[in-house]
Structure 1
Amino acid sequence: MSARLTVAEGASDAALAEARALIAEAEAHDGASPVSDQAMLAAAQGQRVLLRFSEAAGEAAEAVAAVAPVAVGIVGQGEVDLAVRPNARGRGVGSAALAQTLARTNGELRAWAHGENPAAEALLARAGFAPVRTLLRMALDPALLPSDGRDPLALQAPAGLRLRAFDPEQPADAAAWVRSNAAAFASHPEQGRITEADFALMRQEPWFEPDDLILLAEEPGPELAGSAWIKTVRGEEGVECELYAVGVRPEQAGRGLGRLLLDVALARMAQHAPTRVTLYVDGENERAVRLYAHASFTVDSRSRQWARAASSGVDDTMDA
């Protein structure tokens, strides 16, 4: 069975708002977001195509254009993301939306099946994708956060380095963070390619707080040795602190700065009194996994990235 869908393309403010609402609904239902932050940023900047799918019925297909979408697809830069509204699942919407999304490109593609999601993985497998990478979500019991009321910026940094919060009034801070982040995540396919424009959009997100982005600054000079960034989301079910990114420049490796920045992040999280503490890390990054495990994080769920070659020869119109 495959649903008949109409598609609207474009990333106007209204379209982005519709997409975010659907993605949030799916995340609340599934426990994990079906679309990455980077995908939404790229769509907002016109770097990827945003598609909104509505169900059609016979000759009245045009009449459903204004109906709330049942699925959202994002494709471009070698990646594809898909989210299906929970109450629209089980009747071929995902299969039809994925087929139309894939039809927008014939290049090599990668896609995530977020969390434990057999239905999404089956959909990707039928579309010719194969698993290539694992992402772990790790969680920490909030009771294990520092309870001594320590100031995260007061932790002892090595000589020549200073901990301080990001200053949104200083353009040099943004440029320095982008350079440091790119160096720290040079081999990371998403985090390492964040641009200043991307970073500016990320700072417009409702969860962004300058004090949650802590810089390890070199003194003297404008450069950063590393940084720790926390994403704090407040909702009806409480406060979730996600360790969004901890990065250390390669030339600063071996000085214990990763552990220092993790301690700084945990102390900052404690100030938010979260009900949930999480982070995401590549399963193949054994060093980072050990660091987080040593800090009492445990694996909460696994996501898998899937890839499809440019010339798979797969029929994208198959049913689901």
Structure 2
Amino acid sequence: MSIEIDPRSADGWAAVRALLDATERADGAAPVSDQAVAGAAQGHRRVLAFGEDPGIAPDAVGIVGAGELDLVVRPDARGRGIATAALAELLTLPEAGGELRAWVHGANPAAEALLSAAGFAPVRSLHLMTLDPERLPQGSPDPVAPVLAAGFSAPAADPGDAEQLADWVRVNALAFAGHPEQGAMTAADFATLAREPWFAADDVLLAADGAEPGAPLAGFAWVKTVGRDDGTECELYVLGVDPAHAGRGLGRALLDAALARMAAHRPDRVSLYVDGTNDRAIRLYERAGFALERESRQWLRSAGPGDTAENSS
């Protein structure tokens, strides 16, 4: 049995989030990107729940839209054929037309076989890298200091400042022009994420090219801090630099600023995600002490002859 979940329904959306949270606790990593969750919460992606009582305790959840498909099966419901039936239904939705991308996180032969049988092929990798928390700056480091030392100012992040937010969207789009998810983030996406319980404005670090108020942003770093049953995790959520300012050491300065900010949270785990082909960023993170923990792969189903490009990514 399946039902469509309206994100405006408190009970239905709470059931979806409960399944995602349970899967993250069991697998040690989020099963769906925050961008996909934000898109679903805004009504831009369709959400289906599967199971005997899908509106209250779903066995699986599928999210489709913006050229992406996510399918999450509750850990204790795996191996019962739920994913096969759910994927078949999800692929009939209008939102699944055109090119369609899906992630497989870590070593998961069953999921890869399922996607392969449905006409998907691997096209991209994503690295999960981690850092020993003992390697974070000691004492009470000032996260603003590295940005200032690199010759930039460090204005405070204000999610309610429409002009600053528009400038952040601009820099983010430039920094991730070739990134199909991060580069497409909008002000509405940011506002949705800013309502998440883990969000803190102090964890968004900005670098401006100039000291005067309203100076254009040159880059930013964003730290996501989440309390879990086994301790606190700090994730370098995103680090972006306007290509016009490349070569000035801003990327390393923002990374140092983010690590200093993380140190204040005293995390038990430090992590980040980076595109597997972004050799420059990977080298930057490796020099800071990060090491590969897990690789995920993105799979693509190309548009068929009868598909339109409306939902392509």
Q: Scaled by the length of structure 2, what TM-score is found?
A: 0.92
C-alpha separation in 2, matches of 1:156 and 1:246: 13
Match of 2:199 among 203, 208, 212: 208
Using the TM superposition, name which of 89-98 and 135-144 deviates more.
89-98
Match of 1:94 among 83, 92, 102: 83
Say if 2:296 is the partner of 1:303. Answer: yes
Contact persistence 1:202–1:208 (CA under 8 A): yes
Q: What amino acid maps onto 2:83 in structure 1?
A: G
1:118-162 CA distance string (max 9 Å, x none): 222122112111100000000000000001321111335257621
Contact persistence 1:165–1:212 (CA under 8 A): no
Match of 2:37 among 33, 40, 56: 40
1:242-286 CA distance string (max 9 Å, x none): 000110001000101100000000010000000000000001000
Q: CA RMSD in A?
A: 1.7
Deviation at 1:310, TM superposition (A): 2.0
Contact persistence 1:78–1:108 (CA under 8 A): yes
Contact persistence 2:159–2:201 (CA under 8 A): yes
C-alpha separation in 2, matches of 1:140 and 1:160: 27
Match of 1:75 among 64, 68, 77: 64
Question: Kindly tell me: are residues 66 and 164 of structure 1, through their superposed partners in 2, closer, same or farther at Cα, counting changes over 3 Å?
Answer: closer
Which residues of structure 1 form unaligned runs of 5+?
56-63, 314-320
Using the TM superposition, name which of 153-162 and 106-115 deviates more.
153-162
Which of 1 and 2 has greater Rg? 1
Aligned equivalent of 1:7: 3
Q: Scaled by the length of structure 1, what TM-score is found?
A: 0.90
1:156-198 CA distance string (max 9 Å, x none): 5257621233123433222221111111111111111111111
| Number of matched pairs | 301
Question: Kindly tell me: are residues 106 and 176 of structure 1, through their superposed partners in 2, closer, same or farther at Cα, counting changes over 3 Å?
Answer: closer
Contact persistence 2:130–2:271 (CA under 8 A): yes
Q: What amino acid maps onto 2:50 in structure 1?
A: F
Task: Give me the identity figure in percent.
Answer: 56
Say if 2:28 is the partner of 1:31. Answer: yes
Match of 1:247 among 216, 240, 243: 240
Contact persistence 2:146–2:254 (CA under 8 A): no
